[in-house]
Structure 1
């Protein structure tokens, strides 16, 4: 009976897209809580299934917004999103499983033993609803399994955004109270009190800044949420449970991500992958082949990296026309641990390798998360994927304090400084940042103002660089009301003209941009101007990506997703999001 029950839970048998089915109970003959929640082991087995809701590896590293550029563009960037007939993220099976567990976990197991598992379930209910909040805004709140005949609940309207946020935080407070306090030294696969605090800081920062910058929604309480974000992050900081990994010297940033096993001093929660367990992902193949749209960093992000002395790269008068070899010299070391730069060697490889335009449309070829060459075959990578890490908590703290107008230098010293120390960079100086805000960043974030404008911009720079390829950028753009960033022209390396170019500074040509008849050059990548590569000014300038595809972001509707047509028909009390029709 137990085996049948857990197959139902894990596969969601009997669930359909319509509300009436996916929120009601499974047949009594199939699910008997008195048989399935007898022991603490039963609770542990059931809650383990909740972790399937965490992002896939591709959901972490495939950050195709304005950080990672590919030959194809997502509909979010081209304005081609349509109101779906069904699906579209309006799915509730995971919530039904969580609520079913919460209704039954205390039936037989003593309260003290069951409480940590209930806390785990409430953590995942908060995680579930945070995803719905970001996507749709107002959504119906359900904290119990709905009976098939309960028409009032099945056809209830959307609950206000404020109620959803309050309930998310209440669930996280319960999780913080009852989840395990001590983290096991090598286990980053199960949620603890600290995971719940990290999620609380993430949720409150998202919602606090969303309310601050999206004045069109008239949502009060931004500062209260920013206080919650700062306090939750500070509790993690003061606990001493985590630290910034420095075990590989100034190369520790890159080593953190290509380590096969997640490093528990910094990683708070990770998705486990293992060759022994035959659980793999595809990050090596993603970055070294053309199969996934030739992903590469965008020029704007590359320009955002500071010099290694803390000065601004974009303050240099000729920064726009530097060749690749010139622009990557003496930069923030995280750049050379995120993309291929001169001297880069693959793990398990013998010789340095240059960036390849065959695998990266911008030329800024990704190496973050890329492991040993032995993992290069399709779907063979086994390094764990971080879902929560301490660096994010530090960034959340600094940003929340800055947005509140309460940041001081000591706050930066206990947060941003730790990230800079890892790579041997000078700390952020609050006075200097505010005295002369960076015009490059001001152009990107025109709605930032106030006495702390400069340091807010610098924290955003730090966040973008530190967390690149970790699936934060889209959410950040949405909450900062910066959707227009995705409409700018995506660019790659600068080339002064056609001809041969040595990209890795080894004295040998790596690419040849040519016009007319194809030349012969063994070992050199040949790129025909106009068909295989496009330059901004015709025969010179930055590489232009997707020059014929128009990018569109509608400020009146694109900060939220549409509710599927079928759901609006099934429940006439649901109202469509603004700009998406009736």
Structure 2
């Protein structure tokens, strides 16, 4: 089959990719091969340098319920609207995800790179600790690859060696079971945890990063098996939840990490700093540096192709720890009012009124065509690290301590073992940083909104689980975890609800920068535009219909007022089909090449 032939052919340039200068000095390019490499721990380290491109990290939550709308193309969104099936889906042979800042490195060639190392590492002579450390890194990346496959397809063929053209039976085999693949992932990660050194570097794979990935995988699998009853694996869910607790306890007890900073600024600096090397919350981060011209594109999170959703905005608590749903006045708060008395993380994630961008002299105007709730998390605030497209130099977290605390709390809550002390050592450390009232697990305020969001949560710990999910959503917003959370909690129906943006009190001029003067105007049609004088030229004008009566992309939930909604959701609504849409189909062409492959459940 073509995709597995790809596994065989990508090795041609493999060693050139993995080399560094010192290696190139020892061997001519033409002589690089498995036969004259992998002889020392240094060779293994050189090779593992080429595996770091596998790492993925996100600066957005496209496409999830944290997003109001997205103008780009997104495969999951298209699938939920009935436009993607096995005939036109991408993936499998080249399973990259271009919406990740870290690049598209999830194809089967990734697996071959890992397996080439693991098949040859035994030849190395030298310090056994160093050899095992690098083997652990190889197994870390193999686990990373297969975790992506399981999340996307539910099962996959497990290969523990680099395939050869003679491996016909392996090349054409069907997928192994979810249980086998996940157990193999966990075995890889256990080896990694046991053998990767606890080095000080936070830009290199270290013991704590291996534990963090183990915890992420274990929580995902434990909750997936618990809530996806169609798998009939509920009886094994707790084994994974207990492993998540163990891994996070190791980090919390022995890692020396802590929640850093105070208030809004402390939270903000996790995502816009030019140097995270001294930040004790970082377990692993991606280093960007102007001096070597290594930049990212984080400035594009603000007002480019998406905005954030009302659903996310409503998840942020008031400063006294009560849900905003209990405040009857909030329902009709305008954009300039909605941030008042709210968790400071809200205004560090969603652009507030009066926000001034890097190099700007005036406050930015919101763009109602995307919903009006622009993302500012990860947006570099100063010109020294915001140089425009591809020239942003803020370091980006891959694993941070806050996620570890959230995993620990969620796993214990799902197991039914969580205590008030556990809450204080996890959730309340995050709330304390920003000054939000702590969570008292014995006095949790009712929030019908969040209860309706997760109807399959029940039992004596239900309220605690819901509040932990809230905390995870707001703390980790725009870090690429939300879609996976929706899937593992088996609440895909969330995506059916029409997305909303900011509240519009009525047609006409609106102040959205907070200076008391109107900045934009919204009218039903161009003919309704009654602006005169200075306002006619000063204000940015939007209409719901053009001069020919064609809808312009947005409408208001109550007709002449209300929350911004999107014509796309009205004309092509999402209908979530479970369990089908929790997985991607394997392209039809791949099934034709290898009829032994099974489509995921529902396809």
TM-based fold match above 0.5: yes
Query: 2:124 matched to 1:108?
Result: yes
The question of whether the paired residues in 1 share the 8 Å contact of 2:276 and 2:395 is answered with yes
Aligned to 2:83: 80
Q: 1:24 to 1:242 in 2, by over 3 A?
A: same
CA distance in 1: counterparts of 2:457 and 2:300, whole angstroms = 39
Alignment of 1:389-404 (within 5 A): 389-404=400-415
Q: 1:76 to 1:327 in 2, by over 3 A?
A: same
Deviations 1:301-324 (A, max 9, x none): 111110011111111123222222
Aligned to 2:217: 203
Aligned to 2:62: 63
Aligned to 1:190: 204
Query: What is the root-mean-square deviation of aligned Cα atoms in Å?
Result: 2.2
Aligned to 1:284: 299
Aligned to 1:161: 178
Aligned to 1:225: 240
Normalising by structure 2, report the TM-score: 0.87
CA distance in 2: counterparts of 1:116 and 1:381, whole angstroms = 33
CA distance in 1: counterparts of 2:415 and 2:431, whole angstroms = 23
Aligned to 1:450: 459
Aligned to 1:92: 108
CA distance in 1: counterparts of 2:473 and 2:152, whole angstroms = 21
The question of whether the paired residues in 2 share the 8 Å contact of 1:132 and 1:139 is answered with yes
Q: 1:270 to 1:84 in 2, by over 3 A?
A: farther
Shift, 1:25, TM fit: 9.0
Alignment of 1:24-423 (within 5 A): 26=11, 32-55=33-56, 59-61=58-60, 63-72=62-71, 74-77=74-77, 78-84=81-87, 87-90=90-93, 91-110=107-126, 111-184=128-201, 188-219=202-233, 220-246=235-261, 249-263=263-277, 264-288=279-303, 292-293=304-305, 295-346=306-357, 351=362, 353-357=363-367, 361-374=370-383, 375=386, 377-423=388-434
Secondary structure of the residue that 1:324 maps to in structure 2? coil
Aligned to 1:10: none
Shift, 1:153, TM fit: 1.6
Q: 1:46 to 1:523 in 2, by over 3 A?
A: farther
Q: 1:329 to 1:576 in 2, by over 3 A?
A: same
The question of whether the paired residues in 2 share the 8 Å contact of 1:355 and 1:364 is answered with no
Deviations 1:185-243 (A, max 9, x none): xxx21111100100011001000000000001111300111110111111111114211
Provide structure 1 residue ranges, at least 5 long, that are not aligned to the other structure. 1-15
Secondary structure of the residue that 1:235 maps to in structure 2? helix
Shift, 1:280, TM fit: 2.1
The question of whether the paired residues in 2 share the 8 Å contact of 1:349 and 1:373 is answered with no
Secondary structure of the residue that 1:388 maps to in structure 2? strand
CA distance in 1: counterparts of 2:406 and 2:538, whole angstroms = 44
Secondary structure of the residue that 1:326 maps to in structure 2? coil
Aligned to 1:3: none
Shift, 1:273, TM fit: 2.3
Secondary structure of the residue that 1:140 maps to in structure 2? coil
Provide structure 2 residue ranges, at least 5 long, that are not aligned to the other structure. 16-29, 94-106, 546-550
Q: 1:106 to 1:486 in 2, by over 3 A?
A: same
Normalising by structure 1, report the TM-score: 0.90
CA distance in 2: counterparts of 1:21 and 1:74, whole angstroms = 25
The question of whether the paired residues in 2 share the 8 Å contact of 1:98 and 1:125 is answered with yes
Shift, 1:30, TM fit: 7.0
Deviations 1:117-147 (A, max 9, x none): 1110010011111001111112111111122
CA distance in 1: counterparts of 2:134 and 2:75, whole angstroms = 39
Secondary structure of the residue that 1:70 maps to in structure 2? strand
CA distance in 2: counterparts of 1:112 and 1:556, whole angstroms = 45
CA distance in 1: counterparts of 2:395 and 2:114, whole angstroms = 25
Deviations 1:536-581 (A, max 9, x none): 122111111234331222113111111122332232222111222x
Q: 1:442 to 1:106 in 2, by over 3 A?
A: same
Structure 1 stretch displaced more, 150-159 or 128-137? 150-159
CA distance in 2: counterparts of 1:253 and 1:25, whole angstroms = 42
CA distance in 2: counterparts of 1:377 and 1:250, whole angstroms = 24
Secondary structure of the residue that 2:542 maps to in structure 1? strand
Deviations 1:433-474 (A, max 9, x none): 2xx542111111111100010010111111110111100011
Shift, 1:504, TM fit: 2.9
